[in-house]
Chains A and B, each alone.
Chain A
Amino acid sequence: MNSLQANLAAMCLVAVCCLAGADDIRSFADKADLAPATLKSGLEFLTPETRAMQLDDFENPGFLWVEAGKALFEEEEASPSCQSCHAASGDRALRGVAARYPAVDSQAGELLNLEQRINRCRETHQAQPSLAYESAPLLSLTAYVASLSRGMPYQPSIDGPARSYFERGRAYFFARRGQLNLACTQCHDDNWGRMLRGDRISQGHGNAYPAYRLEWQTLGSLHRRFRDCDRGVRAQPNAAGAGIYVALELYLAWRAGNLALESPGIRR
């Protein structure tokens, strides 16, 4: 082997070592979760104008959906109406309920988020067909129910039957994916507060959802946001309502610690 060949061989070895280095990590799952002391709602990463828009209950366009949802909730044509069971006060009042979702449904034995819980209720108690994910009536009902827990911190259960879903959701958050080979954690744990093109990277909390996004010009679900994020790293997005997204929602709800629910929030 002459010296040129030796050099080439050494360079190849270095290249292989580099490839096998950082990029070989498929998952960051042994990293620590975001420390509770550093938690910041996405609200803090908005411009003052957008923040003011969320904090003004009239100028916040998300309330168009909350009002439409309230009307659906009280609609007597649904048999029986949502309100006839879930009166504003009493055992089945819905204040604080959104803060406990996603939760494992004891009858179905699977993890449901708020949208899916509302649909389950329609099917089993109202004899109504379930509503399509991301449809206006489902977004409206979800926004209304979520708005009843505004200002309350998340209290999801991650133990017992929820544990395996939590682990799956956490694994999704820490796993690299897509052509850009990025994990959620690399932006939202490692680089929050820094600029990504024209925007400041948030910590990726879901506490404003369903939220009115200025980019969408409409209210949308957290799963729609997940799909955008997955597309952003050029990964194949999952369907809205997919089990893995509900599991991710559970991990994020736990990760958000004592941040308050803001739905209907405004995001850029």
Chain B
Amino acid sequence: MNTIRIAAPKQARKGEVIELKAMIAHDMESGFRRDQFGRKVPRDILKHFECVYNGETVFAAEFFPAVAANPLLVFYITATDSGTLEFRWVDQQGKAVSDSVELLVQ
């Protein structure tokens, strides 16, 4: 299972810009390497990331083979309402893994 680490504030003032950090354990195997017997190591990468805030996508990113293993994303959003922040990664097979945190806006 891919370990996911999220850093997000538990609460924020309405309108405040908050920093979110998300890291996921993934090999991001580029598909360009060969193993010790000279066989090609098949590509196995994450393709897509999105952060969904109360049902609305507020940040998205595309990944490519040159992205390093265990990608870390740091981005900013404006806190508008209390609710859920969902962090979701989709790999090249279309399999999704996600984690979510609650945000309290006052």
Contacts and interface: CB of A to CB of B under 8 A. Distances in A.
A59 B72 CA distance: 7
Question: Looking at chain A's contact residues, is the secondary structure mostly helix, strand, loop, or mixed?
Answer: mixed
- Chain B interface size, as a band, is 10 to 19
Contacts of B21: 58-59
Interface in A196-230: 217-218
A218 B27 contact: yes
Contacts, number: 30
Contacts of A63: 5
A143 to B, nearest CB: 12
Contact of B7 (A58, A61, A64, A218): A58
A67 B70 CA distance: 14
A64 B27 contact: no
Given A58-B5, A58-B7, A64 B68 contact: no
B36 interface: no
A68 B29 CA distance: 20
B12 to A, nearest CB: 18
Interface residues of A, number: 9
Contacts of A67: 3, 5
Interface string A40-69: 000000000000000000110101100110
A217 B28 CA distance: 9
A68 B25 contact: yes
A61 B27 contact: no
Given A64-B3, A64-B5, 9 more contacts: A58-B7, A59-B23, A61-B25, A61-B70, A64-B70, A67-B3, A67-B5, A68-B25, A218-B70
Interface of A: 58-59, 61, 63-64, 67-68, 217-218
